[in-house]
Structure 1
Amino acid sequence: MFRVVKRGVEMVWVWFMFLVIVLNIPFGYWRENVKRLSCQWFFAVHFPVLVMAFFRIHLGIGWGLSTVLLIGSAYFSGQWLGAKWNRTWKRSMNVSNCLLRDIALSRWIIIYSAKKL
């Protein structure tokens, strides 16, 4: 899926770590807004791990110590960024558990609706 054969294994790592960080931002955002150790918190923490394991198997990335450390740091970075985003927005607006909904409500994205004249 993300494998770039011409540039070698390094490009697979860059894309995979980027994917891990981006995937974990919404889950970190959600995790910050729910009660700790609840069912939702457990899902927000552990579901991305299953997705990352699927991609590791699909991309053929090994399970060595160095890979676990790199992917673990990308995982925690994404969770931290999402939680930080939630705490920042919580000061200025009412936040929900859904990052995409809050982005739309904060008017970061301008949505045009075509009206027929």
Structure 2
Amino acid sequence: MGVWAIAGAAAVAVLVNLPMGYWRRQVKKFSWQWFLAIHLPIPAIFAMRQGMELSFAYIPLFFASSVVGQLAGSYLCGYWPRVRRTDAAAKRRRAQ
């Protein structure tokens, strides 16, 4: 398996976890939705790893990629509303 294929699979793990991190930030911590947001991508990433016939040695890479995706999605959940508010305020100022 080539390095680019493994890097692409890690990028897919990040992308799969982005919306889950976004959702996780919006629900109560330790609720069933919170646990679902964390654990729902695991079967998809497992199936991808099995489909590519990667060994257990790559599990830490995919775990780290999943954490990065969750954290990035959580950050975007807090960042995008600020951008929208700022854009709306700028439009109001221009209209006046």
TM-score bracket, shorter-length normalisation: 0.7 to 0.9
Distance in 2, matches of 1:55 and 1:47, equals 14
RMSD across aligned positions (CA):
1.6
1:93 is displaced (CA, Å) by 4.9
Residue 27 of structure 1: aligned partner: 20
TM-score under structure 2 normalisation?
A: 0.80
Looking at both structures, which has the greater relative contact order when contacts are Cα pairs under 8 Å and sequence separation is at least 6? 2
Distance in 2, matches of 1:76 and 1:41, equals 14
The structure that is helix-richer by fraction is 2
Divergent runs of 4+, >4 A: none
Distance in 2, matches of 1:47 and 1:93, equals 29
Structure 1 counterpart of 2:73, from 62, 66, 82: 82
1:85 is displaced (CA, Å) by 0.2
Aligned ranges 1:75-114 → 2 under 5 Å: 75-93=66-84
Aligned-residue sequence identity (percent) comes to 26
